[in-house]
Structure 1
Amino acid sequence: MVKNDLYLRALKGETVERPPVWMMRQAGRYLPEFIALRDQYDFFTRCQTPELAAEITVQPIRRFPLDAAILFSDILVVPQAMGIDFKMKESVGPWLENPIRTLQAVEDIEIPNVDEALSYVYEAITITLEKLENKVPLIGFAGSPWTILCYCVEGKGSKAFDIAKSFCFQHPEAAHLLLQKITDTTIAYLKKKVERGVSAVQVFDSWGGMLSLADYQEFSWKYINQIVEALDPLAPVVVFGKGCWFALEEMAQSKASALGVDWTITPEMARKLTGNKVTLQGNFDPARLHSSPETIRKMVHEMINRFGKDQYIANLGHGILPNIPLENAEAFIRAVVEWKA
């Protein structure tokens, strides 16, 4: 049994003494101990070496009183397992030499045996659970099919993903086939993560906010919902869609245990759109961690008071930025831990 089950109780909607807290990208680049490993090993070596991934996962747990750990990995390990050869290019980020832009290219993609292709992730889970010693739950994650399609078609990061969107609108048959292949692989991947011991899973839809509501429903949400439906009997599922406040009403009708929200929506509006039916997670602006620790504490307490302590998980509205001072990250976490009604 997990000693600190606050996060899991919040996902179930139980009454809690305070909200649980964790930070998206908490296992990462703002920590000096992470930077030391980054200087020794390239990005995907860190992802694909179970001992390194486990070590990076537990680094913030050793340092801060967090209520959950999230496995260090990357959303692009799924397309890599599908034979889509992503690299991490210096000063560019994700890079695909031959983007997927034809029906034939999509048809050539095979759905992998995830047990073999992603075995290093499952080994990392086993090692991480040993290191955590049942202190806090471990979260597994994957990217949404739409977000992964964006990278596969664009071939790199983008501010608007115009090429990816145009591909979907010009070649919907190819787009839906690619989305379904990603979805099927992701479901198998996340099921295996649960089997290996993660307590919950989160789906990151980083680029869902690029779409209109109608296009979101067609090209993103219906695939995310397949993942939710498949995983719901096995573990709690959290869905985080950056910029996707316009879909919250529909998302709240799903079996998702929690919905992540970013800083572009107020707590009151998020509660209204979801009808108080689902746990919410968020939504502190990561850039606000550049404020003074005193201001951070004040703003965090206000955020909790507005969301309410129950059916709520305190988090950022997106991943922590790499240049955030450690004392400011700690101020955010401790503000939640020390919050009193």
Structure 2
Amino acid sequence: MPITHNNPRRHACQGPLLRAIALAAVTWGAVSPALAQTAWKPNRSVTIVVPYVPGGGTDASARATAKLLGEQWGQPVLVVNLPGADGLIGTRKVAEAKPDGYTLLLQTPAIVLTKHAPSFTGTDPLTSLVPVTNIAQSPGVIVANGKFPATSLPELIKYCKTAATPCSMGTGENVAKLFGQQLKAEALPNLIVVNYKGTAAIITDMIANNVNFAVTGVASALPHQKAGTLKIVANQGTHRFSEAPDVRTVVETGMPQYEYTTWFGLFAPKDTPPAVTQSIYAAVREAMGHAELQKAITAVGAEPLVNTPEEFAAQVRKEDERFTALAKRFPLN
């Protein structure tokens, strides 16, 4: 699969992504002459901060990235989990760090919603950070209990409209909460939206049929789909993914307003020199060009997404505009 450049919008991948990428990473070859001549290269360890608990998609992407950058630079690249406050604790840690390339942040589109959360009104971490590059992208999916009688979003809506008891939807991060409120307002006024602190608890409750469906990441859902305990009802991406080719996208079924593809992107503190961010981008791009890594990512429903700092900044701005408009219509609670 080719690397995607300047791709538009693209919750979460778990351990399978990390393990698959780690296996591919050990086969990577030498650094190219072009990369060796970049303007900046670390001479000590680099830290990537993940502002969420270990085991989620951002954590898996960070650890895979740490492995590949360590291979490229010949220096340790450490991953530190600093969860809390919807990702704001770890994000602030990076924003306050020295802008020298040695402290990086791996975040998702959820970062653009921080300023819209009631407890963080007026707090916009994006003003203290600079986008560096994307690492990967993965479609959001609508997942239900394995026995749920629907195989697409329109079927889910039709079922819930006539069900004897109101359907319930589990939500974790703010993006999922936003979509839950949107779906309730636009299609299912009787929908019960249940907010959770993380994806793991939602998965457990869906398997136990305590909650009917949820928005989550494809890699979180795939193992349970294969086991038959959960069912991917709809793919929120713009195209079908190889590990679940029969699952239709929301675009295909005429509901593009629910499209959501998450990205896992690297950020640096504001005022980090352009030469540094460009060099980090170049190192990521070099490693992501290996077919083994692309295959490992694709195998778990994700795909490579590497773009320049300028392209990534434009992508973040576009995401910010979209979610700001949605947050005004459907305020987070």
Structures share fold, TM-score greater than 0.5: no
Larger strand share, 1 or 2: 2
TM-score of the two chains, using structure 1 as the length reference: 0.29
Higher relative contact order (CA 8 A, sep 6+): 2
Larger helix share, 1 or 2: 1
TM-score of the two chains, using structure 2 as the length reference: 0.30
